Amino acid sequence: MRGTAGGVLLGLWLLLAGCPSEEAPPAPPAKAEPLPAPGVIALVDDVEIHAVEVERLAGIVQAVFPEYSDLHTRRLALTEALLPRAAARSKRGAEWERARAESSRAFARLQETGAEAWLAEVGPPLSDTGGLSYLRLDLWGAARGAELGVWMGPYERIGTFTILRVIAIEGEEFEEKLTVERVEFPYLPEGSTASDLNEAIDSCRLRIVDPDWEEAFPERWKYRMRGE
């Protein structure tokens, strides 16, 4: 009997050993990246960058510096305005929504009351005079081409929404100086510095979704915007 029992146990062990173990459940599929909307060339986190925005700012730069290549003007549009702006928006999403809504209400109020009454409500505007190098592409790109003396906006800029008017244009076509009055609706915290903005840029993830635009993004920016 002992031999029989031992043989049964051995048979059961061999049977179990020969049975395939239960397979582990398959790993869930990797989350698919969302498809970009038409005209979107890149994403900074979830913030879209559109080709039309790049081309508009690139065209403004080339009007001032006609010797620049198309590639160089596109890179300037991205690095001087659109990439920093997208990074600031990504890190301050709720504040961005608040500032956008506030600036839209303010512009509606401006149209309702007229400029004089509106300025009495919002306070005196900021004023700047200069060319592209002084005003920077961020502000110059919003102001250049605006109708003289007419309040326009809101324009999204790096860390803020702006309602502005151009009150004077001086100089030659390629050396224009604009005098701009503006009212700001910021979404970055008061006292934010260039270092704070650089930190936001460095912590964002850049994903280029249109390979035709790959070269327009400088390698240094691809390296720094890895979401780390």
pLDDT of residue 53: 96
Residues 181, 224: one domain?
A: no
Across all residues in the chain, what is the average pLDDT? Answer: 86
Residues 106, 120: one domain?
A: yes
Quick check: 7 pLDDT over 80? no
pLDDT digits (tens, 9 = 90+) for 157-198: 999 999 999 999 998 766 789 999 999 999 999 999 999 999
98 inside domain: yes
Specify burial of residue 123 (Cβ count, 10 A radius: 0-12, 13-18, 19+).
exposed
pLDDT digits (tens, 9 = 90+) for 42-64: 999 999 999 999 999 999 999 88
User: Which structural domain range is residue 79 located in?
Assistant: 37-92+193-228
pLDDT of residue 218: 97
pLDDT of residue 25: 52
Selection from 78, 38, 83 nearest residue 58 by Cα: 78
Residues 76, 100: one domain?
A: no
pLDDT of residue 2: 41
Residues 49, 76: one domain?
A: yes
Q: How far apart are CA 202 and CA 221, in angstroms?
A: 9
10 inside domain: no
Residues 127, 181: one domain?
A: yes
Residues 152, 124: one domain?
A: yes
127 inside domain: yes
CB-based burial, 163-190: b 16+ in 10 Å, e otherwise: bbbbeeeeeeeeebebebbbbbbbbbee
Percent of the chain with pLDDT over 70: 83
81 inside domain: yes
Q: Please say which residue of 187, 204, 220 terminates a domain.
A: 187
Q: How many domains does the chain have?
A: 2
Q: For 197, what's the count of Cα atoms within 13 Å in the CB-facing half-sphere?
A: 21
pLDDT digits (tens, 9 = 90+) for 73-104: 999 999 999 999 999 999 999 999 999 999 99
Residues 124, 179: one domain?
A: yes
Quick check: 118 pLDDT over 90? yes
Residues 197, 182: one domain?
A: no
pLDDT of residue 227: 86
1 inside domain: no
Question: Residue written as tokens 């512009």?
Answer: 107
Residues 109, 183: one domain?
A: yes
